[in-house]
Amino acid sequence: MKLRGLYAITDSQLLAGKFLAYVEAALEGGVTLLQYRDKSSDEARRLREAEALRNLCERYKTQLIINDDAELAARLGVGVHLGQTDGPLAPVRALLGHKAIVGATCHASLALAEQAAREGASYVAFGRFFNSNTKPGAPSADLELLEQARIKLHIPVCAIGGITLENAAPLVAHGVDLLAVVHGLFGADSSAEVTRRARALNELLQNK
């Protein structure tokens, strides 16, 4: 499977009361990867929501990724995304098998990305590129980093952090394969607007 396109990431607070409706609206517009990101300790709810997302993703032929929780990912037979504080990647790759999608946060560090690639990452994520509601304190990355990554890495590159339809084009022009979007996708007034944004973000990548 070619990892190129829109990478939608859920936000429990942003999606409160419209969780599945907005996620399905995004899938309707075309999503390559959907990450379930929930930092709460309510394991029963997290399992229930993740299972519901897996069922939706199967319908839309989209890959589900679980944020930070390799055990939940293994239980559901889906992929996982690891932050820099989530421990080494190699044991997670061994747990999930060679076919699973395993992503790694690399902030603004090419060295971290190269290490993740060596350890079996399916893609690496750089960011933040713009002011981010989700991670306001994250270090900032620049377009030059994407140029270097495109030369040195042989796995897909993801950009994250404050990405919207209005500011995404330069990232695509500098070689990004995946646009990871939270508020720029789900911070919409209606499910129809979520679908419209998803389609438009996808078109940016497919036309490149």
Q: Taking the domains of the chain in order of start, what are their residue ranges?
A: 5-207
Query: Binding site for Mg(2+): which residues?
Result: 68, 86
pLDDT of residue 56: 98
**Tokens 């396109």, residue?**
5
Q: Which of 96, 139, 85 is nearest to 120 (CA)?
A: 96
Considering only CA atoms, give the Rg of the chain: 16
Report the chain's mean pLDDT, rounded to a whole number.
Answer: 95
Give the model's pLDDT for residue 208. 67
Q: Which residues are annotated as a binding site?
A: 35-39, 67-68, 86, 105, 132-135, 162
Torsion over CA: 60, 66, 70, 72 (sign)? negative
Q: How far is CA 22 from CA 60, 79, 141, 198, in A?
A: 14, 21, 29, 11
Reply yes or no on whether the pLDDT at 168 is more than 80: yes
| 5-207 fold | TIM Barrel (3.20.20)
The tens digit of pLDDT for each residue in 46-90 reads 999 999 999 999 999 999 999 999 999 999 999 999 998 888 999
Between 206 and 123, residue with greater pLDDT:
123
